[in-house]
């Protein structure tokens, strides 16, 4: 069976510090991978998606970047966090055929102070 | 105007009531998802549908492609159904990417 792991669950970081959130998927190969953010009081927003190793598409200009160094590993990063980066970050995967069910990680609550 | 609109934004019901949450979209889609987000933030995918109707337990999801509208129904609601319900669509030209509604906060009181 497939599982998705996302860590850490919570993170408090000062403004200007770097960020690295990691997401790994087990039990499948070549998944589509996604990073979403949910800012307080707002809906989910797609940040990045990837259809393969080294293939990253960015949906919105921002202070964040994503990388996919391995088939089932997706990393969300920032060199210098901003207050506005605070929010709930979710990693998700789907099968590569597209339009399929999404499977979400447990999320990371990021507070930038 | 958002491409995906949900209504109502907030819904309070008594245990046992029949609940309907609506989702309208303005773009061509290849699929529509209904998601449930629990108070702790975790998200579960309830349904993925592209036509017709699906049922799982007390949950029913319908979609009308011509009218660009979907509904999520909960029969015999229970306090444990309290959560945020999110409608998300796969826009036809976007591959697998989802566009989300703002969500509906459902509270079911005992």
DSSP-assigned states of every residue in B58-73: TEEEEEETTTTEEEEE
How far is C-alpha A4 from the geometric centre of its chain's CA atoms?
12
- By C-alpha distance, which of B24, B27, B28, B32 is closest to B8? B24
The region of weakest confidence among A61-65, B25-29, B38-42 is B38-42
According to DSSP, the residues that pair with A91 across neighbouring strands are A35
pLDDT above 70 coverage of chain B, percent? 94
Confidence grade of residue B96 (pLDDT, cut at 50, 70, 90): low
Which residue from B30, B90, B103 is facing A43, i.e. has the nearest CB? B103
- What residue ranges in chain B does DSSP mark as E strands? 4-7, 10-14, 19-25, 29-37, 43-49, 52-56, 59-64, 69-74, 83-91, 98-100, 104-109
Report whether B45 contacts B35 (CB < 8 A): yes
**Predicted local distance difference test score (pLDDT) of residue A70:** 95
pLDDT bucket at B41, cuts 50 / 70 / 90 = low
Reported confidence tier of residue A98, pLDDT bands at 50, 70, 90: low
Per-residue pLDDT at B55: 94
User: In this predicted model, which residue has the larger pLDDT, B98 or B61?
Assistant: B61
The interface residues of chain A toward chain B in range 47-76, judged by CB-CB distance below 8 A, are 49, 51, 59
Average pLDDT over every residue of B50-54 = 92
CB contact under 8 A, A102 and B45: yes
The whole-number pLDDT of residue B94 equals: 64
Write down the mean pLDDT value for chain B: 90
B33 touches chain A (CB under 8 A): yes
**Residue contact B42–A51, C-beta within 8 A:** no
Q: Could you tell me if A26 and A40 are in contact, meaning their C-beta atoms sit under 8 angstroms apart? A: no
From residue A39, alpha-carbon distances to A43, A85, A97, B43, B87 in Å are 7, 8, 29, 15, 17
Q: Do A109 and A52 form a contact (C-beta atoms < 8 A)?
A: no
Is there a contact between A100 and B45 if contact means CB atoms under 8 Å apart? no
Quick check: A15 pLDDT over 90? yes
Residue B30 contacts A, CB cutoff 8 Å: yes
Q: Which residues have a Cβ under 8 Å from the Cβ of B14 and sit 6 or more positions away?
A: B77, B108, B109
Is the pLDDT confidence value at A99 over 90? no
Q: Provide mean pLDDT across the span B65-89.
A: 95
pLDDT band at A42 (very low <50, low <70, confident <90, very high): low
Structure-token match 């207050």, residue found: A83
Report how far residue B72's alpha carbon sits from residue B22's, in angstroms, rounded to the nearest whole number. Answer: 6
pLDDT bin (cut points 50, 70, 90) of residue B100 is confident
What is the Cα–Cα distance from A109 to A7, expressed in whole angstroms?
A: 10
Instruction: Say whether pLDDT at A100 is over 70.
Output: no
Q: What percent of chain B has pLDDT over 90?
A: 63
What is the average pLDDT across A30-36?
Answer: 91
Least confident interval from A23-27, A37-41, A62-66, B43-47: A37-41
């Amino acid at each position: 069976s497939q599982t998705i792991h996302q860590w850490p669950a919570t993170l408090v970081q000062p403004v200007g510090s770097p960020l690295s959130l990691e997401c790994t998927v087990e039990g499948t190969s070549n998944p589509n991978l996604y990073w979403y953010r949910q800012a307080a009081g707002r809906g989910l927003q797609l940040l990045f998606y990837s259809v393969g190793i080294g293939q990253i598409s960015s949906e919105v200009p921002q202070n964040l970047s994503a990388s996919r160094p391995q088939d089932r590993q997706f990393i969300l990063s920032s060199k210098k966090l901003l207050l506005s980066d605070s929010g709930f970050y979710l990693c998700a995967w789907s099968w590569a055929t597209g339009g399929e069910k999404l499977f979400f990680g447990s999320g990371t609550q990021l507070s930038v102070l | 105007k958002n491409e995906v609109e949900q209504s109502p934004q907030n819904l309070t019901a008594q245990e046992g009531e029949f609940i309907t949450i609506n989702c309208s979209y303005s773009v061509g889609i290849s699929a529509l998802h209904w998601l449930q987000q629990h108070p702790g933030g975790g998200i579960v995918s309830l349904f993925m549908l592209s036509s017709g109707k699906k049922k799982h337990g007390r949950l029913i999801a319908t979609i009308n492609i011509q009218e660009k509208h979907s509904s999520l129904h909960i029969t015999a609601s229970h306090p444990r159904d309290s959560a945020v319900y999110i409608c998300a669509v796969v826009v036809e030209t976007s591959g697998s990417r989802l566009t989300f509604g703002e969500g509906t906060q459902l509270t079911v009181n005992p």
